[in-house]
Each structure stands twice: as C-alpha cells, then as structure tokens.
Structure 1
Amino acid sequence: MRARRLTGSLAGLIVLSLTAAGCGLSGDSGDGEATAGGCKVDKGNVGSGKLTGDVKGKITFQTTNLKKDFGTFFNGVIKAFEKEHPGTSVKWVDDPGDAKFTERNVADAQACTLPDVINLNKVTATALTKSGYLLNLDEKDPEASKPFVKAFWDSSALKDASGSDIHTVLPWYTGGINLTYNTDLLEKSGIDPEKPPTTIFELFEDYEKIAKSAKGKYYATMANPIWRIPADWQQMDIKVYAADGKSFTFADDPRTTEWVAWMKRLYQGGAMPKDSLSSSDDPSTPYGNGQVAYGSTNPSFVRFVKQNSPSVYDKTGVGQYPFDKLGHTSGAPQYIATAATSKNAPTALAFAKFLTNAENQLAWCKDPNVVIFPTTTESLDDPFFTAVTGNDPFSEARKVVAEQLKTATADEVVLSPAQQNAIVSQVQLAMQGKKSPEQAVKDAQDKANELLTQGS
C-alpha cells in the first residue's frame, strides 16, 4: 500500500458542528474555573502563561489500535513514568481506530470526557484544535518543540478558532516513502536501478519503458489513481487548495492536466493492468508474484516481501521516492495531544512528553514487530538509523527514510472521502478515454469545490 499522505476526513463537517455548538475558549470565570470547548476546566489550562502544578494523580491515556501488538512496550513506558513520578497512575485505553474514530473522539470532547492524553491523526487533531479542546503548547509549554525535528514541529501547527497557527500536538511516530522495485524487470527495460528518477514525470517515463518492454507479460504499477491523489500533486508542489483553504486550485496548474494525460497514456499503453483501474488492491500481492515492477512505497512493505516472497526479495531494490518540486518529502505522523479539559493537566502533559521523548521513540522503533520512524532529532541520529549495515533491501529502506525525515514536513493535504472520490472518478474517466484530461481536471475541481462548499 502506498504510504498515503492523505486521510479520509470528516473534519470540515465536524468543525462546523463544533463551532455551531458554541465551543471555544474563555478565561477565568471568577471561581478558579474557565472553559475549553464548552467544558469547565481549571483556569490554568487555557489562556496565557505556562502550565504549572504537581505531577501526581490519575490520568487516562488513549492509543489507536496498538494494545494488541504492543502491550508489553506501552505497559513498560507507563510503569517507568509512574516510577519516575511517585503518586501518578496511568490508565491505558485503546481505540479501534476505525472509520468512526473522529466522530467518536469529537463526541467524547463535547461530553467533556476526552482522555487526558490522546493519540490522534491530523484530521481529528484539526477539529479538536479549532474548537479549543486541546492544550495550547505554545502558551503552556513554550519549550515543547526542543526534542523534535524542526521541520516536523513547524509543520505540525494547526488552526485555532481565530485562524491562528498554534501547536496543540507533539509529533510522534511516522512512516516514510521510498521506491521499491524489481531490479531484474527494470534492467530488462533498460532502466538503471542505481539511478532512481528525481521527478514524478521521470518516474512515469520509466513506467512507459517497462510497458514497451513487457508487452503485457508484467506491468509497471497499479492503475487506480486513488493511491496517488493528492500525494503526487503535493510532491510536485501543485497547490491543491487556495491559500485560505476555501477553494480548490489544482486545475489552475497546467501540470495537473499533464499528470492526468500521463496517467491516460500509461494506462492505455499497457503500463498498468486494465482491471486495476477501479480496484482498491495495492501493489503488494502482484509485486510479490513478479507481476509489477514497482511495489508499495511504504517501508514496511519491504519486510512483507522478505517474509512472503524471498525470491522476489532477492531482486528487490530500494531508492528515494522523487522529491520533485517540493524538494523534500511530506508525511503524516501520528500525534500525541493533551486535552485542555484534563482535570490533571500537569500530569497529562508530563506523560505526553515522556512518551514522545527521544529515548522512548527510539525504543519503540527498535521493536522487531513494527516498522516506524521517530520524529525526534536525537533518535534519528542514533546508529540504529545512521550506521545501518548491509545492503539488503530492508536496511536500505531504513537508511533512505531516516535520512529524508530530517527535512520532511507534516504538511498533509487533507481531502474528505467525498472530495477524493469525486476527483479520482474524473481522472478514471480520462484514463479510459471518456473525457479529455483538460475537461476531467476542470470537472474534478468544480465537483470538489461544490462538495467543499457543502461541507462534505
């Protein structure tokens, strides 16, 4: 599966509903209380001034679908924190992370029952930040940025109710992207595996070479553009939204039409299986069977190939995914936030920082059951990433991703499911020759803007 830099979102609808409910921040009510998102909180949780108070008492910590596989690790972190801070108690709960994740957590926030420390994706964090439910770290802990890669911290700012950028989340673990390819199939097509393309269109040129060489015996990649929109456009530095976020602008860039024209040319020229245009299948299985030259861009995919297709693994190469016009990669880490509604905010913030510190991030990345990368500078500088030995594909993937994360950002372009589907469907029509690329791009932007206006 492609390391997706987009997330299905209910954020627009949710933010509108929260705003309509009168949520936000207010100051001291005169009795030592204030409000955050419509909930009564200690006045120290909101407004200006550093958060103060003893680190003690009970808090609740919520992760997203991690308890089954990583119980030993997180229980160890919790015990270490409780030992370091006598008198504290951390209750760990785990959300399943399904399609109702954002709705469920927004409902908890509105009911003033949001967990004290919570693992969030960007969509949910955006909604909760706009409505004042998360602790403003710029005010409450001005030095919170220190452990993190600067680019990740800078791009993790979210909009508050006034439209100002504030930090309410700590960047946590992240993935990355790289090219994974069958060196034999590339060489048969006259492509040098040691010289990966540096732009998206150069990658498309390689796809075309593969199609001409393979003549239907194998393919370059899968056809469904859902894995590439808006990720490719973002890497090309195509402005998907207007600066104010109130309209789509991708059709204004002629490279978008050129991108669609390339996708049509590749699909009709045999670079992609015809039956994969509307399939949700990623390249994992066909790559493992030697049916496509390029596999998933997710680094963990390399481990999948090693475990399931040893013969293909021996022919697998790993390279840098094209930076293109962006000049760096853009990813979407998971985040850790402290609820502004916490009744024990000093303890909650202390635990959030403990969980995301360099030592604990590195320790989790070393777990053999997971393929993730840290967001702290010290962790990425550890020999585990910088002194990887060997030239096997998995080692190469780790080196490639660790290096790119030092300059990566979390500038995630978020499309709602309806918006993404509307855009993808128009591109699919162009790929089938049922519309010109120019008309498909225009219609895609019109339909996406209509949905944006509706809050869908």
Structure 2
Amino acid sequence: MRARRLTGSVAAIVVLSLTAAGCGLGGSDGGEATAGGCKVDEGNVGSGKLTGDVKGDITFQTTNVKKDFGDYFNGVIKAFEKANPDTKIKWIDDPGDATFTQRLVADAQGCTLPDVVNINVNTAIALTKNGYLLNLDEKAPDAGKPFTDAMWKSTTYADAEGNKVHSVLPWYSGGILQTFNTELMEKAGLDPAKPATTVLGLFADAEKVAKASDGDYYAFLANPQHHIPAHWQQMGIEVLSSDGKKFTFADDPKTVQWVEAMTSLYKAGGMPRDSLSSTQDPANVYGQGKLVYGPTNPNFLRFIQQNNPTVYEKTGVAPYMLDALGHTVGAPQYVGVASTSKNASTALAFAQFLTNAQNQLEWAKDPNVVIFPSTTESLKDPFFQKVEGTDPFSEARKIVADDRQTSTADEIALTPGELNAIVAQIQLAMQGKKSAQDALDEAQSKANELIEQGS
C-alpha cells in the first residue's frame, strides 16, 4: 500500500496533545491501560483478541447521511438492537465539513471519541497513529474475511511505532471512470469508442480538442487540483517516499512531463483561461455542454441526468486511464472502533454488523445513492453482476462493478494545505512564470515544510 501519514494542521494538533498526554498504547504497574493518553480497559489494547459481552450503550457517528438515508440507518440500528436486546445505540451525524478531522482528533484527545465512527483516509491516519482506534489485527483477527482481498490488504495505516495495522473496516466508496461528451469528441476529430488509455494519451487528445474547438468548448478545467495526485499515481510517479516522511514527486522526470502537458494545453486554449485558479464545479460546466471530459465519479452521471438530460444523452463512459496504479475504489469511507470505548465488544459487533454483506448491499441498492460495497458477497449479487441497460449510468456501473473485486485503496490523500501548496506552484508554471522543474521543486519544498511542521 502506498504510504500515508499525518501532516499539516491536523498533525500539529495531535503533536501538541501528545507532548502533554503521552503517546500510543501502554499500561502501568496498577493494571491500568492507556490509548492516546486516555485510560481504557486493558482488553482494548495490546495483544489478544477482544472479549466481552455485547451489551451496554454506544455512540455511532456517521458523516452527512442522516437527511437522505435516515430510514436505512435507523433500520440497521433497530435490527442490531433487536438481535442484541441489552444494547442501545445513540446515532449522531456530523456535517463532514473542512474541520471534520480536527474535531474528531479533539474528541479523541478528550477521550470522548464516538464508539463507532465513520471516517475518511486522513482521519484514519490521525487516529491510528495515536492509538485511538482498535488494532483489528490483534482484537479481531478475522475481521477482514467479508471484504475483497485487494481492499482489505490495501487498507492499513501506521501506528505509533510505524507498524502498518488494520484499524478500520472498509465500507462504501464511489468509483473512478472516464466520462465524456461524445458529440464534442467527434467535433474534435476523436473517436468516442477509442478514449484515452493513458494519462499522457488524454493530453494528446485534449490538444486536438484545443485545435478544433476555437474556444467554443474545452477539454477540461485548468485548475490542477482536479487531477492531483490521481494522474501522478497512475503515471507511476512516486509522490511520497516509501516511509511517507517526505514528498518526492519533483525528482521524477514524468512529473515535469505532466506539468509541461498541462502548460501546453492551457496555452493552446484547451482549458478556459479563467479556470486556472477557479473553484467552479466541473460538473456544472460539463452540464452546460462546454467540456469534453467530465468528472470521474459515477454519481456525477446522476447529477447530469437530472439537471441536463440533453447532455446526458450525449455522454459516454469508459474505464479510467490505468497506467501504473491500476484500479482504485475512489474516495473510500471506513468504519473505526474507538480503543477508548467503554463497551468495545458492543462497538466492534455493531461496526461489523453495519459493514456486513447484507447491509452494504441493501444501501447500495437505494436508488438515491451511487455507491459500491467492499464485501465480496455483496459484489456477487445480480445487482452488480447483471447490470442491464446501455444508458451512461448503467454502463458506468458495469465498468466499476467489473473491476471492484480487484480494486485497491491505494490512493494518496493530500491534506488541503499540501494540495494548495503544490497547486499554487503548478499554476505559476502554467502561466509561464516558472519552468516546470522550478515550480515542482518549490512545490515539493513547501509541501515538505508542512510534513516537518507535523513531525
């Protein structure tokens, strides 16, 4: 699995806390155990399988799903409580905004982390590093059985000693594929039946769009944040050192090639001039019929179908450009169990119930959501194996479902600070104010400063 680590402002918060509270997992002569500085039941930490009765109260936290999927989650909770009459689950739903990780880290430092919590990659990094999540390899050695081998093997994070451990259960994720306006492709002299299969091949096609469009339409938006680090990883660029302690992307000539391709396309008019630093949503611009290439998330197709049906009818889909990284699941979501839980056995049982094949499949079948499960049995269901229809969304679901059994979680998740530091320098190169190499060197230096601030 590609290295991930805690950086930026989140790291600073954690480091300050650990200086005062102690780090990682441990015990004392009096038999008390600690996790991230919090006193916990001895059975929650160290070696040995978690034991204990499934009973008592726990808190379960999701991220921004209550409004649209309240009935589903209430049903899961009710079913678990019925099967385990001595349990009670309190459900809370976090809005999942930009300060999500910081808030959860603060909860963990205050020894009030929810017993079962829905988290993303960056949050999993922070909580695992500081001992706030159960080590499932020790506490539930069979926890990985329901999940696809590729997903389970690639879902590990470093603990306080730097050891890679399983600290979360894989849950749902989106998918990654190409979407494009077939009519505009044909206008540019491209064959929609033969989309690009490599990242640099995509840029070659985009140059043809620039030459043919004369500003009436574009290949895609110019802001590099839409493509980093996905393009780099597919090109086989080592974004981070193997230990995850420093960025190394500027040392690879392929990164220079990528920046030069972005710069050339921008100068040729293949991207809107005003989109270089804009935060506008590519989905909206694509829906206006102004972009050849749309977002890579299948859920985007539902948006276009509902809001721009004419453009939807012209939309084609194809597998993502798979140079080196291969198939990845796309924005994975996880479920972690707090090592600080007073009812860890109940929390673990509920986390496993929530992520089992039956419950994952039930949610994936909801027509109001476009998600893919992480369990082998869910993916064997006809819902994924016998997708009917030739419309863009049906085709997209076929593509993602076909690769899902072997898709991994091997995606680097940059913090907002890291991404901004890198993008700012590449924007200067695209404007002709710096060479590609100088921009990358400066981007790498600034991004590494953020790592050092959290080291």
Q: Is the 8 A contact 2:376 2:405 kept in 1?
A: yes
- Which residue in 2 is equivalent to 1:56? 55
Q: Distance in 1 between matches of 2:102 and 2:16?
A: 11
Q: Distance in 2 between matches of 1:332 and 1:300?
A: 12
Q: Distance in 2 between matches of 1:6 and 1:324?
A: 24
> Is 1:432 aligned to 2:417, yes or no?
no
Q: Deviations over 1:134-157 (max 9, x none)?
A: 111000110000011111111111
Deviation at 1:6, TM superposition (A): 12
Please tell me the residue identity of whatever aligns with 1:430: A
Q: RMSD in angstroms over aligned alpha carbons?
A: 1.8
- Which residue in 1 is equivalent to 2:324? 325
Deviation at 1:219, TM superposition (A): 0.7
- Which residue in 1 is equivalent to 2:157? 158
Alignment map for 1:83-162 (pairs within 5 Å): 83-162=82-161
Please tell me the residue identity of whatever aligns with 1:25: L
Alignment map for 1:301-450 (pairs within 5 Å): 301-329=300-328, 331-450=330-449
TM-score (norm 2): 0.95
- Which residue in 1 is equivalent to 2:23? 23
Q: Distance in 1 between matches of 2:226 and 2:234?
A: 13
- Which residue in 2 is equivalent to 1:13? 12
> Is 1:185 aligned to 2:211, yes or no?
no
Q: Distance in 2 between matches of 1:19 and 1:154?
A: 29
Q: Deviations over 1:84-107 (max 9, x none)?
A: 112111110111111221121111
Q: Distance in 1 between matches of 2:149 and 2:403?
A: 13
- Which residue in 2 is equivalent to 1:69? 68
| Worse-superposed segment, 244-253 or 343-352 | 244-253
Q: Deviations over 1:51-109 (max 9, x none)?
A: 11111111110111111111100000000111111211111011111122112111111
Alignment map for 1:191-202 (pairs within 5 Å): 191-202=190-201
Tell me how many residue pairs correspond in the alignment: 451
Q: Deviations over 1:406-437 (max 9, x none)?
A: 22221231323222112111111111111111
Deviation at 1:298, TM superposition (A): 1.1
Deviation at 1:454, TM superposition (A): 2.5
Deviation at 1:330, TM superposition (A): 5.6
Q: Is the 8 A contact 1:365 1:374 kept in 2?
A: yes
Q: Deviations over 1:374-410 (max 9, x none)?
A: 1111111211111000110010111111222222221
Q: Deviations over 1:299-352 (max 9, x none)?
A: 101011110111111111011110112233363311101111111111110000
Structure 1: runs of 5+ lacking an equivalent: none
**Closer, same or farther in 2 for the Cα pair 1:366/1:6, shift >3 Å?**
farther
Q: Distance in 2 between matches of 1:379 and 1:28?
A: 44
Q: Distance in 1 between matches of 2:35 and 2:453?
A: 27
Q: Is the 8 A contact 1:171 1:334 kept in 2?
A: yes
Deviation at 1:451, TM superposition (A): 2.8
Q: Is the 8 A contact 1:6 1:414 kept in 2?
A: no
Q: Distance in 2 between matches of 1:393 and 1:8?
A: 39
Q: Distance in 2 between matches of 1:146 and 1:373?
A: 18
Q: Deviations over 1:7-37 (max 9, x none)?
A: 9964432442343231321136545x42111
Please tell me the residue identity of whatever aligns with 1:432: Q
**Closer, same or farther in 2 for the Cα pair 1:203/1:250, shift >3 Å?**
same
| Worse-superposed segment, 367-376 or 416-425 | 416-425
> Is 1:250 aligned to 2:249, yes or no?
yes
- Which residue in 1 is equivalent to 2:202? 203
Please tell me the residue identity of whatever aligns with 1:180: T
**Closer, same or farther in 2 for the Cα pair 1:352/1:383, shift >3 Å?**
same
Q: Is the 8 A contact 2:57 2:88 kept in 1?
A: yes
Q: Distance in 1 between matches of 2:29 and 2:130?
A: 19
Deviation at 1:159, TM superposition (A): 0.5
Q: Deviations over 1:102-129 (max 9, x none)?
A: 1211111111111111111111111111
Structure 2 residue matching 1:324: 3-state secondary structure: coil
Q: Distance in 1 between matches of 2:59 and 2:416?
A: 31
- Which residue in 1 is equivalent to 2:262? 263
Q: Distance in 2 between matches of 1:393 and 1:249?
A: 38
Q: Distance in 1 between matches of 2:408 and 2:8?
A: 20
- Which residue in 1 is equivalent to 2:173? 174
**Closer, same or farther in 2 for the Cα pair 1:402/1:11, shift >3 Å?**
farther
Structure 1 residue matching 2:132: 3-state secondary structure: coil
Q: Is the 8 A contact 1:251 1:445 kept in 2?
A: yes
Q: Deviations over 1:149-179 (max 9, x none)?
A: 1111111111111000111100111011111
| Worse-superposed segment, 110-119 or 252-261 | 110-119
TM-score (norm 1): 0.95
Structure 2 residue matching 1:325: 3-state secondary structure: coil
Q: Distance in 2 between matches of 1:72 and 1:399?
A: 27
Deviation at 1:268, TM superposition (A): 0.5
- Which residue in 2 is equivalent to 1:81? 80
Q: Is the 8 A contact 1:11 1:123 kept in 2?
A: no
Structure 2: runs of 5+ lacking an equivalent: none
Q: Is the 8 A contact 1:331 1:408 kept in 2?
A: no
Q: Is the 8 A contact 1:55 1:350 kept in 2?
A: yes
Q: Is the 8 A contact 2:18 2:37 kept in 1?
A: no
Structure 1 residue matching 2:335: 3-state secondary structure: strand
- Which residue in 1 is equivalent to 2:451? 452
Deviation at 1:450, TM superposition (A): 2.6
Q: Distance in 2 between matches of 1:196 and 1:323?
A: 12
